[in-house]
């Protein structure tokens, strides 16, 4: 009896001591397999269960950073001062020091490749002023993408109450990174990189080296989350994204994700029409305009125009008459009448009685010769290209077509309006009008393939017509 009681006590102690540790190390499993080209889901398991994303969080940290760079909030060459909060983050880290200044490009490399927590926090603080405000911006961006079950509380992904996401949401985010910022996507396939402070190695290098076509994206691990991975691979024009939460180890996770990708490539059609995800709107910081408002006085209280000089009894020089006349309000009808008068062969200028100062002599202007005209004779429109602005980059040969119009003037107006509205993407491009038998094509030429692709995607997001024109 005493022996049995002793065994019960030992069993209870084992349950109390070991049970909680086991629970902490057995994270729930979830998985999604998606065709990146179309967004179609081929497999899902617990896809909408809210779980700990761990360092998969850094995908959104980096996405917001890419967005901020594109919108000129910050640049890759901007120096970031490392705060005490950032330098005190636990590993994995770049081992930044408080007060250290480092360029944003190196922080991005460290966060994407090494999954450095201190680098991620420094990025967030540099863009939003604090990690809390940056996390709110991350969540707003997630909602705009359709990540409805994701809430971010920090920039690095370490376990925190309420910091949760799902396998489906992280797959959506991975797809946005691939297609919204292709110029930065190569970061996630680098095996190593220079992060200024030190050379850093990719946390996903084993999977990248083992799976054919793998080129990203991000790993994640905490005790609460398990071993997570969002992976993407491309084979023969087919691209599959596989997401897994809750792996028991790195080898087990990599093996399972490889199986998920294989499943995706088997089910995906060899060809499919690319349906890019809709780019979310630019999310500014909520506290950006909460500072003190300073009103500037722009109205001029007293005119700076000099007073009319007094004239004597003698004759007034003709060149002073214009200066002596008071301000005259010119109406559009007056301009039209002047043009018509100019083209008729004679111009007669009459000043009202009130425009003369006392003692001024009346002076009648000379009649213009009939041969002179303000309006050139009409010239037949030639089927040639009209370029409003020439680019300095001769190596850029891609173009985008934004529509066909009934007249050259209409096409040029639309090109100018688009150039002003999309200066961030179309700056440096040529505005070109091509005459066709069916109308006038409006094009932006002199673009790279990436800039043409980005410009079209931004215009499509505004429900505007656009298609790329490859070099001929």
Is the pLDDT at 439 greater than 90, yes or no? Answer: no
Q: How many CB atoms lie within 10 A of CB 116?
A: 29
Tokens representing 442?
A: 């409006």
What is the tens place of the pLDDT at every residue in 157-213?
999 999 999 999 999 999 999 999 999 999 999 999 999 999 999 999 999 999 999
DSSP 113: I
Catalytic residue among 83, 87, 112, 115: 115
Decide if 115 is catalytic: yes
Tokens representing 221?
A: 């691990």
Contacts of 203 (CB under 8 A, 6+ apart): 55, 92, 113, 114, 115, 219
Is the pLDDT at 267 greater than 60, yes or no? Answer: yes
DSSP assignments along 169-212, one per residue: HHHHHHHHHHHH-HHHHGGGG-SEEE-SSSEEE-TTHHHHHHST
Position 322 scores a pLDDT of 45
Contact status, residue 25 vs residue 223, Cβ threshold 8 Å: yes
What is the tens place of the pLDDT at every residue in 234-260?
999 999 999 999 999 999 999 999 999
Position 380 scores a pLDDT of 46
At residue 333 the predicted structure's pLDDT band, cuts being 50, 70 and 90, is: low
For the full predicted model, state whether its pTM sits above 0.75: no
Contact status, residue 56 vs residue 220, Cβ threshold 8 Å: yes
DSSP assignments along 54-94, one per residue: GGGHHHHHHHHHHHHHHTTSS-TT-EEEPPHHHHTPPSS--
Distance CA 282, CA 286 (A): 12
Decide if 271 is catalytic: no
Q: Which residues pair with 239 in a beta bridge?
A: 234
At residue 378 the predicted structure's pLDDT band, cuts being 50, 70 and 90, is: very low
What is the tens place of the pLDDT at every residue in 83-138?
999 999 999 999 999 999 999 999 999 999 999 999 999 999 999 999 999 999 99
Altogether, the residues listed in the chain come to a count of: 472
Q: How many CB atoms lie within 10 A of CB 160?
A: 15
Q: How many CB atoms lie within 10 A of CB 371?
A: 6
Residue of 87, 84, 93, 95 whose CA lies nearest to 116: 93
Position 325 scores a pLDDT of 46
Domains and CATH numbers, the chain: 26-267 (3.40.710.10), 386-469 (3.30.70.1070)
Mean pLDDT score of the chain: 80
Contacts of 423 (CB under 8 A, 6+ apart): none
Is the pLDDT at 423 greater than 50, yes or no? Answer: yes
Decide if 424 is catalytic: no
Characterise 71 by phi-psi region: left (phi > 0), alpha (psi -120 to 50), beta (else): alpha
Catalytic residue among 58, 93, 153, 218: 58
230-233 long-range contacts, CB within 8 A, separation 24+: 230/56, 230/59, 230/170, 230/171, 230/173, 230/174, 231/204, 231/207, 231/257, 231/261, 232/36, 232/174, 232/178, 233/261, 233/265
Q: Which residues pair with 275 in a beta bridge?
A: none
At residue 38 the predicted structure's pLDDT band, cuts being 50, 70 and 90, is: very high
């Amino acid at each position: 009896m005493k022996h049995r009681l002793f065994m019960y006590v030992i069993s209870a102690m084992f349950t109390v001591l070991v049970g909680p540790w086991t629970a902490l190390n057995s994270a729930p499993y979830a998985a999604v397999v998606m065709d990146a080209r179309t967004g179609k889901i081929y497999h899902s398991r617990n896809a909408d269960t809210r779980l700990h994303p761990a360092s998969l969080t850094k995908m959104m940290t980096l996405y917001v950073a890419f967005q901020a760079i594109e919108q000129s909030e910050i640049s890759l060459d901007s120096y970031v001062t490392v705060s005490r909060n950032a330098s005190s983050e636990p590993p994995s880290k770049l081992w930044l020091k408080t007060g250290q200044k480092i360029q944003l490009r190196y922080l991005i490399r460290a966060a994407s490749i090494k999954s450095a927590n201190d680098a991620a926090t420094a990025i967030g603080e540099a863009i939003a002023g604090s990690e809390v405000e940056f996390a709110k911006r991350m969540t707003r961006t997630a909602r705009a993408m359709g990540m409805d079950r994701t809430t971010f509380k920090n920039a690095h992904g370490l376990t925190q109450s309420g910091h949760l996401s799902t396998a489906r949401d992280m797959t959506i985010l991975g797809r946005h990174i691939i297609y919204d910022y292709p110029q930065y996507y190569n970061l996630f396939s680098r095996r190593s990189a220079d992060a200024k402070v030190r050379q850093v190695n990719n946390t996903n290098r084993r999977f990248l080296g083992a799976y054919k076509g793998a080129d990203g994206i991000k790993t994640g691990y905490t005790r609460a989350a398990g071993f997570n991975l969002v992976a993407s691979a491309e084979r023969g024009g087919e691209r599959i994204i596989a997401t897994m939460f809750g792996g028991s180890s790195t080898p087990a996770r990599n093996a399972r994700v490889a199986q998920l990708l294989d499943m995706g490539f088997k089910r995906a059609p060899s060809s499919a029409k690319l349906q890019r995800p809709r780019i979310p709107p630019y999310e500014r910081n909520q506290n950006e305009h909460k500072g003190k408002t300073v009103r500037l006085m722009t109205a001029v209280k007293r005119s700076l125009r000099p007073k009319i000089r007094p004239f004597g009894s003698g004759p007034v020089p003709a060149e002073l008459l214009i200066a002596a006349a008071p301000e005259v309000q010119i109406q559009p009808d007056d301009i039209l009448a002047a043009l018509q008068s100019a083209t008729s062969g004679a111009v007669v200028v009459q000043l009202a009685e009130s425009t003369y100062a006392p003692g001024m002599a009346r002076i009648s202007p000379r009649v213009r010769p009939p041969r002179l005209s303000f309006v050139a004779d009409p010239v037949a429109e030639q089927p040639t290209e009209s370029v409003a602005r020439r680019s300095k980059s001769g190596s850029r040969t891609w173009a985008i077509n934004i529509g066909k119009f009934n007249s050259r003037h209409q096409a040029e107006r639309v090109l100018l309006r688009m150039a002003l509205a999309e200066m961030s993407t179309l700056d440096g491009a040529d505005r070109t009008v091509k005459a066709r038998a069916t109308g006038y094509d409006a094009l932006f030429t002199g673009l790279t393939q990436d800039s043409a692709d980005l410009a079209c995607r931004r215009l499509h997001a505004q429900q505007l017509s656009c298609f790329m024109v490859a070099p001929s």
